[in-house]
Chains A and B, each alone.
Chain A
């Protein structure tokens, strides 16, 4: 168990190292940021000065070593664009991203798990049919379209929630619904599939003929067994939301990390792009680690493996 954790930690660190290299190289492949950053009337000397100041004149290997060394100390350099520390920019975006991903996941769990369970218990019933429809719609509808429709409906036609921006609790409503719709549909489908399988298993049949209560069989035994793959999937979803909610962030002008990355790449703002991607990666790996721990807490077979 301890050995497993150490191994897992080692893996995580190695993954991060490889990732820094990829990020670093990719960022440089997008081209020289100097023309984008410097005003057009800047002289060649000015440009050269900028390159030297940011170490862009050194060879790539040297740049990488400097980058690693600084990153290890939490220093990702200064944003080319805003001239403030890159990490400060990223740090401001992490909060909105985490809280939006969290609220969307929460919504998805609250809707998806009970719906999937109920559908599995009453297979072929009304609720099951509704769940199938809901799952198909949720997965087939593009996020930006859902977002726009929600804005039209709940911000313009019935102005209940603000259409965009960040700040108050009300601002969470529409982006949470948008992301939560997709996530809850896939969680409902997964919960249903896993519950259907688990309800067919020998131990559930045994518990039935032992006369245990239906509630205990479904909610204590079956759901817990079915939840193992669901927890893994939730971790993955959460990880994706951390970095991949770009479209939703765009639609709702949400100051999250997805937007920060896209903007940083567009402006060839290497320091910010590197800091943001690396931060996302660390968050992603942390979530993965947490998922492993949760699964281990749930499944004694994993603890002995």
Chain B
């Protein structure tokens, strides 16, 4: 991809997030090690409740105030959780951008699109005389038709896809170095999904930003992303290049997840649901969280902590089974 080895934009070491009572914590995320390089698009997959949103918001220090964080997150070489919040807030929107799942509720209903875009631009220090013009330019960049008219409209007068475009325009107005998109298309029609995803690629191509996309749909990751993270019960169980992981998934959960997405075989649409239930994060034992649902489970899986194993360049799984079972 990138001929020269670049300095990572995000480096995460042994990152964990816990909610709830101190003596009965819910570990939404634990033991995450991750490196994000500029210009790469990373997809995060996993069943709902596996900690995808928590990880994403944790990476940019935008968690709920009740969250307890452990480990270390470095953004551009600076330890995010050691900085004063004021400095992190200054990075939000400028170097770090986020797009949320529900575009219907993510814009202030009482102000026009133009007003909200202009407020963001002013905050970025765009001189007053240029704000109008740049607001329209920002909307043009996300392919909003008739932006001159849209700036006078209110959010409720726009479709969901339009609103998500506006939000992306606001989030990326300052050419961020990292964009986090938490299920950016789940609330939208399938036809609009591709157009939105294309915007992320355009942003990456234009600014060399790193993009993190959380999604339910593995197909999205296959088409758009360079690298994939598969999460289960708060841990990354497999990460690697999309081509490698999709061609030969190594973790039993990744395999189950891939098998559980609908696909066409001959004339039929088939899917194999994952048996069992997502475990309760409060009562996890010491062993592998997937053990109860794993077709290849052996005794040690339940007793001992699973360990990371590197399978190739950038490809690692959290599983004790040697090389997986093909």
Contact = CB atoms under 8 A, between A and B. Distances in A.
Contacts of B224: none
A301 B90 CA distance: 32
Nearest to A224: B110
Which among A206, A221, A301 has the greatest number of chain B C-beta atoms within 10 A? A206
A207 B60 CA distance: 14
B100 A221 contact: no
Interface stretch (B76-84, B91-99, B201-209): B91-99
Given A209-B93, A221-B111, A300-B110, A202 B123 contact: no
Contact of B106 (A203, A224, A299): A203
A211 B90 CA distance: 6
Given A206-B167, A300-B156, A304-B156, A211 B108 contact: no
A202 B100 contact: yes
Given A211-B89, A211-B94, A213-B123, A203 B170 contact: no
B108 A221 contact: yes
A147 B90 CA distance: 51
Contacts, number: 70
A301 B109 contact: yes
A210 B171 contact: yes
A212 interface: yes
A221 B91 CA distance: 21
B91 A209 contact: no
Contact of A212 (B96, B100, B105, B120): B120
A208 interface: yes
A71 B230 CA distance: 77
Interface string A24-60: 0000000000000000000000000000000000000
Interface string B98-140: 1010100111111100000001100100000000000000000
B170 A210 contact: yes
Given A203-B107, A212-B123, A301 B156 contact: yes
A232 interface: no
A172 to B, nearest CB: 35
A225 interface: yes
A300 B90 CA distance: 31
Interface of A: 201-203, 205-213, 216, 221, 224-225, 298-301, 304
Given A210-B92, A210-B171, 9 more contacts: A203-B107, A205-B106, A206-B98, A206-B106, A208-B62, A209-B93, A209-B171, A210-B170, A301-B109
